[in-house]
Amino acid sequence: MAAHPRIAVYPGTFDPLTNGHVDIIERGLALFDRIIVAILENSGKHPLFTVAERVGIIREVFADKPIVEVETFGGLLVDYVRSRRAHVIVRGLRTVSDFDYERQMALMNRHLSSDIETVFMMPSEQYAYVSSTLIKDIAALGGSLAGLVPPVVDARLARRREAATTRRA
């Protein structure tokens, strides 16, 4: 490892982790010595999975990749990034419609902390249309998620759907 390890923080809600996220993390493995997947604690988005569940899922998926760490954070992202002695924020960029939001966040984060750089990475084309929101909709309606999420996420969503169906019966 280099004298100054290249540490990247990959922040997000990850509710749930998709194969698009996995693709970004795997691409990051070639660029960074450590990737810290950082789950926002209070997103105000009424998440489907608890923060602890999301941490558990991501740890399970990357159990064989010790350079991928999973943590949670609250408050300002730049403060958290600094606390981890990192200088890079990784964000995935799928479509043009992602761009405005991502640009605004990257420039605001740079305004708040000019020594932290945001690096955008493109997922493989096959994940350009995959989002956690769509995944939850498809899961709730019983559609197939094959190839879109890791098997552990597919299984957890199926369990949720079964529980919801049983409750309604």
**Active site positions, annotated:** 21, 45, 94, 132
Q: Of 13, 72, 113, 118, which lies in the binding site for ligand PNS, with binding defined by CB under 6 A?
A: 13
Q: Of 11, 16, 47, 123, which lies in the binding site for ligand PNS, with binding defined by CB under 6 A?
A: 11
Q: Where are the alpha helices (H) located in 18-115, listed in sequence order? A: 19-29, 51-61, 77-83, 96-112
Closest listed residue to residue 55, CA positions, set 44, 36, 73, 39:
39
What is the three-state SS of 67-87? CEEEEEECCCHHHHHHHCCCC
Cα 136 to the center of its chain, rounded Å: 15
Q: Of 109, 130, 135, 153, which lies in the binding site for ligand PNS, with binding defined by CB under 6 A?
A: 109
Q: Which is nearer to ligand PNS, 11 or 123 (CB)?
A: 11
Q: Does 77 bind ligand PNS (CB under 6 A)?
A: yes
Q: Which is nearer to ligand PNS, 64 or 139 (CB)?
A: 139
Q: List contacts with ligand PNS (CB under 6 A).
A: 11-13, 40, 76-77, 105, 108-109
